């Protein structure tokens, strides 16, 4: 016998815990603290321990319970599980709309469907069945007819109700997912245990749901969005919009981001809006799903052999594609370093067509075992340069050719001799003054990160070098309009404009000039460190290796390269000649340690609307802040514009503060 007051207390505890669970995990609303909710659960567990006959399948204590299963049972779905056809371009989506209208016209006459647009969550599809409001089974999609019973694991997900708000029979469909932060914690544990890491949240969610021990799934902090009502003992809502509200009313967690589209172009705009925001969520989003909103139209459309006619998955541009390596060529850089570049069969990845990808160095070619003719996986994430991440050896035909690193490279000039850079994986030209190297240096000198001479692009710079009008950097500033008129493509107006641009570039900041000099190992960030530490170019030239190494961010290899470069007699002469034609300022040294952002480190990712990333970096530096190219624990802020890349994911992993463009502008504006 169970005392009446105990039963009443138990029922109230169960209802109260359910209420607070729903508020927290379904509506993202914290009505009481987790500690207080845990105290209620402990009290309920004590009562169940004394009166075990009270325990039912909807008890909060049953989220984690029972021994590990020996194997998964098979479950036949009450409602067949269909998939979506995919679209990748607006044209394909408009064709989907046209097909819908044509099909409806044949079936029921002229119709004007509207659409409900929802985010396509990249997780694991699960089908939930409730009888009289109590969770009966949770199953994977399987082949669409038969799935695997994973109820024991799905019960551990707090956002999945064990009982509904009404005692009805329903079958619903949704996506189980894991947040990036939970993945980071899980991989940290697996790394410590020497176990293989999960590649992404989708794989981690699928691996967690397919555990035979529910305690493992419970430890992995899974979540679930429900997006479709397959069966109900009540009347079906007449539209998809009302169906989502119905699901939420029953106690399911429904994704809040959606759009009602009266016309298909409204749906395309929703896709355009979410394309750059996909990776800003804690869950993975790989596109949107466009569904015919009206249920009567959806039922009239029916299904094809594998997919519904009334919906389509509009995918975001792929970040990984396969393509073929057609050739591997060596590119000579501004310091004479040779970079192997794969020439690819053109492929669209992350919204852009790519036909080139760097292979970095000889060691990387060996690591990948990439050969000419290989089928490879090409990856591009956000603002990251396209990269070959894997070769598919199973696609080889036997006609692929291994790349043989040459002993001589004609572009290096002279006898074309090359040498391995001491202590590095790179090779470089022995002759550091070949035309290929020199032209790269000049491209860098006049480029946007250095003197930024408008109108003097690579083709024009090459023309000046080939005609002998320019041999040294300072020669650029002695050019006259008449010198240019004899060159192809120049008229009086264009010649006058270029000379004006050259004259405007005579005043240059020290950091930009250091970038333009093509000193080995000195890029934009190192140049800024030097400009903050030394007031003039002569001060930099006179610095010892010991002094340079003492600067945070400059190591012994970089210090040695700087010392050797400034120690060469021809470079000292180059500096003297440049000082005659340039006015060199250094605002970074003048504001050293005094700016409002002094001591603060930023990383920029994505595209900003109000300014370029270079301009944003300049604002930060003028205020005393530091801009880094990679995210670390020392980073204070990551500024995320549109189409942010892997840097945003890394910031979330490390718990670094992320600023929107508006928040960033507020900071630099106030400063």
Residues tagged active-site = 120
Q: φ and ψ at 520, to 5 degrees? A: -55, 135
HSE (CB half, 13 Å, CA atoms) of 515?
21
User: Can you read off the two tokens belonging to residue 192?
Assistant: 């410590």
Tell me whether residue 118 is annotated as binding: yes
User: Can you read off the two tokens belonging to residue 442?
Assistant: 């000049």
Q: Which of 510, 499, 515, 511 is nearest to 453 (CA)?
A: 499
Beta strands in 418-469 (DSSP E): 418-420, 427-429
Contact 510, 536 (CB under 8 A): yes
Per-residue b/e over 530-560, b at no fewer than 16 CB within 10 Å? bbbbbeebeebbebebeebeebeebeeebbb
Q: φ and ψ at 348, to 5 degrees? A: -90, 125
d(CA 252, CA 145): 24
Residue 638: strand pairing partners:
603, 658
Per-residue b/e over 392-416, b at no fewer than 16 CB within 10 Å? eeeeeeeebeebeeeeebeebbeeb
Query: 3-class SS at 358?
Result: strand
Tell me whether residue 136 is annotated as binding: no
Tell me whether residue 141 is annotated as binding: yes
Q: φ and ψ at 240, to 5 degrees? A: -65, -35
Q: Which of 341, 383, 303, 310 is nearest to 630 (CA)?
A: 383
d(CA 152, CA 149): 8
Beta strands in 55-114 (DSSP E): 74-76, 83-87
d(CA 44, CA 14): 7
Residue 297: strand pairing partners:
none
Angle between helices 201-209 and 180-192 (to 10 degrees): 70
How much helix, strand and coil, in percent to the nearest 5, is found in the chain?
40, 25, 35
User: Can you read off the two tokens belonging to residue 158?
Assistant: 């707090």
Tell me whether residue 175 is annotated as binding: yes
State the Cα angle at 602 between 596 and 607, rounded to 5°: 115
d(CA 312, CA 79): 19
Contact 378, 320 (CB under 8 A): yes
d(CA 643, CA 122): 18
Long-range CB contacts (< 8 A, 24+ apart) of 485-490? Answer: 487/463, 488/463, 489/460
Please compute Rg for the chain using Cα positions. Answer: 32
d(CA 179, CA 286): 14
Tell me whether residue 308 is exposed, middle or buried, using C-beta atoms within 10 angstroms of its C-beta: 0 to 12, 13 to 18, 19 or more: middle
Tell me whether residue 412 is annotated as binding: yes
Cα 628 → chain centroid: 18
At which residue do the structure tokens 């490879």 appear?
Answer: 376
Mention every residue, 6+ apart, whose C-beta is less than 8 A from residue 281. 119
Tell me whether residue 315 is annotated as binding: yes
User: Can you read off the two tokens belonging to residue 622?
Assistant: 């003028």
State the Cα angle at 74 between 68 and 80, rounded to 5°: 135
d(CA 405, CA 419): 11
Known binding-site residues for NAD(+) equal 83-84, 118, 141, 175, 291, 315
Known binding-site residues equal 83-84, 118, 141, 175, 291, 315, 412
Known binding-site residues for Zn(2+) equal 412
């Amino acid at each position: 016998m169970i005392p009446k007051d105990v039963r009443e207390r138990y029922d109230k505890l169960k209802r109260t815990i359910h209420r607070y669970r729903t508020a927290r995990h379904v509506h993202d609303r914290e009505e009481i603290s987790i500690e207080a909710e845990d105290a209620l659960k402990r009290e309920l567990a004590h009562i169940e321990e004394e009166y075990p006959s009270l325990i039912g399948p909807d008890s909060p204590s049953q989220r984690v319970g029972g021994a590990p299963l020996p194997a998964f049972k098979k479950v036949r779905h009450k409602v067949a599980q269909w998939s979506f056809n995919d679209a990748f371009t607006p044209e394909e989506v408009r064709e989907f709309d046209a097909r819908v209208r044509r099909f409806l016209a044949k079936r029921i006459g002229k119709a004007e469907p509207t659409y409900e647009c929802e985010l396509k969550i990249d997780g694991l599809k699960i089908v939930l069945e409730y009888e009289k409001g109590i969770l009966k089974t949770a199953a994977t999609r399987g082949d669409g007819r038969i799935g695997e019973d994973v109820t024991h694991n799905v019960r551990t997900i707090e956002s999945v109700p064990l009982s509904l708000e009404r005692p009805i029979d329903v079958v619903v469909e949704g996506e189980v997912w894991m947040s990036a932060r939970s993945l980071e914690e899980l991989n940290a544990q697996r790394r410590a245990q020497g176990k293989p890491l999960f590649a992404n949240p989708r794989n981690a969610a699928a691996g967690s749901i397919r555990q035979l021990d529910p305690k493992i799934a419970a430890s992995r902090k899974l979540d679930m969005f429900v997006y479709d009502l397959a069966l109900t003992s009540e009347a079906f809502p007449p539209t998809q919009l009302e169906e989502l509200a119905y699901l939420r009313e029953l106690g399911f967690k429904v994704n809040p981001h959606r759009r009602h589209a009266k016309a298909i172009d409204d749906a395309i705009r929703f896709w355009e809006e979410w394309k750059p925001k996909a990776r800003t969520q804690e869950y993975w989003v790989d596109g949107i799903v466009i569904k015919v909103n009206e249920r009567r139209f959806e039922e009239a459309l029916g299904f094809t052999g594998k997919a519904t006619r009334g919906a389509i998955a509009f995918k975001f541009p792929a970040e990984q594609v396969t393509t073929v390596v057609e050739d591997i060529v060596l590119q000579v850089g501004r310091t004479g370093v040779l970079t192997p570049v794969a020439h690819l069969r053109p492929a669209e990845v992350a919204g852009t067509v790519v036909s080139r990808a760097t292979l970095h160095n000889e060691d990387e070619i060996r690591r990948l075992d990439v050969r000419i003719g290989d089928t490879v996986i090409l990856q591009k994430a956000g603002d990251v340069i396209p990269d070959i991440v894997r070769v598919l050896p199973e696609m080889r035909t036997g006609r692929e050719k291994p790349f043989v690193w040459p002993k001589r490279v004609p572009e290096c000039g002279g006898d074309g001799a090359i040498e391995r850079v001491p202590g590095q994986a790179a090779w470089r030209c022995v002759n550091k003054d070949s035309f290929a190297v020199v032209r790269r240096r000049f491209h860098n000198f006049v480029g946007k990160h250095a003197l930024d001479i408008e109108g003097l692009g690579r083709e024009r710079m090459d023309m000046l070098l080939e005609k002998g009008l320019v041999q040294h950097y300072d020669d650029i500033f002695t050019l006259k309009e008449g010198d240019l008129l004899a060159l192809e493509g120049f008229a009086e107006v264009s010649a006058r404009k270029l000379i004006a641009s050259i004259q405007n570039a005579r005043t240059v900041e020290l950091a930009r000039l250091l970038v333009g000099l093509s000193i080995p190992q000195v890029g934009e960030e190192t140049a800024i460190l030097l400009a903050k530490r030394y007031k003039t170019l002569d001060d930099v030239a006179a610095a010892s290796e010991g002094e340079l190494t003492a600067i945070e961010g400059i190591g012994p290899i970089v210090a040695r390269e700087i010392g050797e470069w400034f120690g060469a007699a021809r470079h000292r002469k180059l500096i003297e000649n440049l000082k005659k034609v340039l006015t060199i300022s250094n605002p970074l040294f003048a504001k050293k340690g005094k700016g409002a952002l002094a001591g603060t480190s930023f990383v920029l990712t994505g595209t900003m609307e109000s300014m370029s990333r270079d301009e944003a970096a300049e604002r930060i530096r003028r205020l005393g802040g530091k801009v880094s190219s990679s995210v670390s624990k020392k980073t204070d802020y990551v500024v995320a514009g549109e189409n942010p890349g892997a840097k945003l994911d890394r910031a979330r992993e490390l718990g670094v503060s992320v600023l929107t463009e508006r928040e960033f502008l507020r900071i630099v504006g106030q400063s």
